[in-house]
């Protein structure tokens, strides 16, 4: 390695300091963008979760009020028709307060025939309306689970979005150490050390 003058070493040192300052500024700007991205994602999470909870509360309250104003009655099956591959349309006859009603209900496919007795839930203020489920607690549970799944979907979507955004920001930072050399593998400090050794060797030879 050829010996560098003091001026060349100073120039090299200034160049390395400038490059490191530029690198630090680039990293600082990238970290700032990452923080802004995380802040934006947090705000989106809060907004979407508020919307999700509001929708869940709305449907829970609606179903609760709907099912709270209802009653269970024993009904006779008077007709069974195919509604789809998974559902059937069942016509029921039942009596409420001495008055006879006939109404149909689409339900999951199961073994049922004319003359069977089935318990159904109807609205008190509209007895001709047969509700889909008999168990009120089950209905509320379904609404809560639907809201929970929707919330998980929102969190998963935002997590994937963060994964897509943040890696590119981190890569742009260029956080690995930057070295500047006159020869491969030689940094400013190694050059200084090498020159000290050479000067010491020269001085020793002069004394001899």
The per-residue pLDDT for 182 is: 43
The whole-angstrom separation of Cα 53 and Cα 84 is 33
Alpha-carbon distances of 124 from 52, 71, 96, 135, rounded to whole Å: 31, 6, 9, 16
pLDDT mean across residues, the chain: 76
Higher pLDDT, residue 7 or 183: 7
Instruction: With cut-offs at 50, 70 and 90, classify the pLDDT of residue 141.
Output: confident
Comparing 168 with 200, the larger pLDDT belongs to 200
**Would you place residue 183 in the very low, low, confident or very high pLDDT band (cuts 50, 70, 90)?**
very low
Longest dimension (CA), the chain: 130
Which residues lie below 8 Å from residue 169, measured CB to CB, with a gap of 6+? 30, 33, 34, 37
pLDDT at residue 159 above 50? yes
pLDDT digits (tens, 9 = 90+) for 7-56: 777 777 777 777 888 888 888 887 887 778 777 877 887 888 788 788 88
User: Phi/psi zone of residue 174: left (φ > 0), alpha (ψ -120 to 50 degrees), beta?
Assistant: left
The gap from C-alpha 129 to its chain's centroid, in whole angstroms, comes to 40
pTM summary value: 0.49
Q: What pLDDT, on a 0 to 100 scale, did the predictor assign at position 111?
A: 85
Give the per-residue pLDDT at 73: 93
Q: What is the pLDDT of residue 201?
A: 59
Residue entry with tokens 């963008």: 33
């Amino acid at each position: 390695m050829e010996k560098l003058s003091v001026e060349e070493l100073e120039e090299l040192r200034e160049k390395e300091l400038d490059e490191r300052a530029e690198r630090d500024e680039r990293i600082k700007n990238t970290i700032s963008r990452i923080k802004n991205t995380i802040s934006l994602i947090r705000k989106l999470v809060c907004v979407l979760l508020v919307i999700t909870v509001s929708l869940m509360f709305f449907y829970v309250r609606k179903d609760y009020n709907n099912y709270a104003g209802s009653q269970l009655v024993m009904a006779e099956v008077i007709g069974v028709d195919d509604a789809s591959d998974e559902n059937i349309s069942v016509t029921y006859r039942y009596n409420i307060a001495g008055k006879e009603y006939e109404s149909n209900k689409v339900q999951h496919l199961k073994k049922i025939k004319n003359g069977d007795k089935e318990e159904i839930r109807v609205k008190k203020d509209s007895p001709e309306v047969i509700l889909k489920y008999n168990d009120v607690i089950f209905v509320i549970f379904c609404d809560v689970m639907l809201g929970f799944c929707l919330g998980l979907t929102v969190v998963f979507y935002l997590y994937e979005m963060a994964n897509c955004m943040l890696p590119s920001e981190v890569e742009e930072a260029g956080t690995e150490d930057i070295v500047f050399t006159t020869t491969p593998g030689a940094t400013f400090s190694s050059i200084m050390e090498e020159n000290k050794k050479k000067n010491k060797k020269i001085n020793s030879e002069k004394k001899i």
